Amino acid sequence: MESKLPNVGTTIFTVMSALATEHKAINLSQGFPDFDMPEALVRLTGEAMQKGYNQYSPMAGWMPLRESIAAKIQDLHGASVNPDTEITITPGGTYAIYTAFTAVLRPGDEVIVFEPAYDSYIPNIEVNGAVAVRIPLEFPTYRINWEEVRACITPRTRMIALNTPHNPTGSILRDHDIEQLRQIVEEFDLLIMSDEVYEHLIYDGQPHRSMLRYEDLRQRAFVCFSFGKAYHCTGWKMGYCVAPPTFTVEFRKIHQFNCFSCFTPAQVALAEHLKDSAEYKSISGFYESKRNYFGQLMQQTRFKPLPSYGSYFQLYYFNHLSDLSDKDFSIWLTKEHKVACIPVSAFYQESIDNGVVRFCFAKKEETLERAVERLVKVY
Ligand code: GLN
């Protein structure tokens, strides 16, 4: 069969996690916690099932959950979002991103994508016949060069894809970026796909600059979120998309004939759990401690860190330790030292290799300690 995506192979997360399993390595590659999700949420989900919430929920999502999300957005960003017309519950953040692109893009449309880019964006764009216009983030700060963005805009540019906090680099959008973004989207009438799945994983007292904070940006944006990241349950595949009513209508046209609706018991449970604002406000501190602990342990190794301002990832230089490409180094590290990581070149179409790899620190302290005991031996 002629492939619609001839250049796409198996995602790096599957490849590295499989290699980690095969070689019994500690898996700091694919991003997922190895500790338990909140007990209260497990209990609420069990109760929902026992109470009989086991049939389809409404296509757009369980209304009390959408109301809890709207209250959270009001609390965190001061924005009034209509739960009926602007919020859709999705099976995960990646699905929300795919659906947003698919709702908007026509063949030949151009989307600005910053590399390194989460690996689903470009295939999502291309499967819709649209074109990803790739712009590298500046190395090693991984900041956006807005002059370059302006230079890449054409009459076909339809959308700009953003991700803050950023996977894989842990960079975040700053006030300067928001100012530039506001000018550019207005001047060239662009839409925004904003991947904010790591909204709660942001450190050093920085605010999460969600598109939802800025009325002008919010009116142009599909903003995609993940419960899996917030509540340590990536296997739940639960997320949501917030977008203006006319965008949401189009989003739901795709969603209703793809997934239709999501796992009801989890929605019933999340509706209740999200009311605990102290809990979602505590997530950044919880992960900041993990980042700091991992960073402190890693000082015993010869790996050199790049800063992580958000997400549960931290990049490290290895190129003073090895001449291998980052892909070969990641394979070698997994096989020889039994710690798996992700080569950052996997997030570039043209395999730009800056000699850095990504480690996930969403792990128990003992897991991080055991991993670092092994990484100390790399020199
Ligand atoms: N978002 C996770 C990561 O970056 C992986 C998700 C997946 O494997 N699809 O590691």
| Residue 310 resides in a domain | yes
Residues of the domain holding 203: 39-275
ipTM: 0.96
If asked whether residues 215 and 107 sit together in one domain, one would say yes
Q: Which atom in ligand 1 lies closest to the alpha carbon of residue 360?
A: 10
If asked whether residues 142 and 270 sit together in one domain, one would say yes
The confidence score (pLDDT) of residue 277 equals 97
If asked whether residues 252 and 111 sit together in one domain, one would say yes
If asked whether residues 23 and 57 sit together in one domain, one would say no
If asked whether residues 54 and 173 sit together in one domain, one would say yes
If asked whether residues 267 and 292 sit together in one domain, one would say no
Contact 353, 23 (CB under 8 A): no
Ligand 1 centroid distance, CA of 156 (Å): 30
pLDDT mean for each 10 residues of the chain (379 residues): 96 98 98 98 98 98 98 98 98 98 98 98 98 98 98 98 98 98 98 99 98 98 98 98 99 98 98 97 98 98 98 98 98 98 97 95 98 96
Whose CA is closest to 129, among 220, 257, 1, 5? 5
What domain count does the chain have? 2
If asked whether residues 323 and 202 sit together in one domain, one would say no
- Ligand 1 and 293: CB distance under 6 A: no
The confidence score (pLDDT) of residue 243 equals 99
**CATH code for position 305:** 3.90.1150.10
Ligand 1 centroid distance, CA of 118 (Å): 8
- Ligand 1 and 210: CB distance under 6 A: no
Rounded CA separation 292/118 (Å) = 24
In angstroms, the Cα distances linking 357 to 30, 302, 328, 334, 345 are: 12, 13, 11, 12, 8
The confidence score (pLDDT) of residue 351 equals 77
**CATH code for position 90:** 3.40.640.10
Ligand 1 centroid distance, CA of 144 (Å): 22
What secondary structure letter does DSSP report for 48? H
Is the entire prediction scored with pTM above 0.95? Answer: yes
Q: How many CA atoms lie within 13 A of 377 on its CB side?
A: 10
If asked whether residues 320 and 247 sit together in one domain, one would say no
Whose CA is closest to 171, among 95, 125, 115? 115
Question: Of 245, 275, 305, which one is at a domain's C-terminal end?
Answer: 275
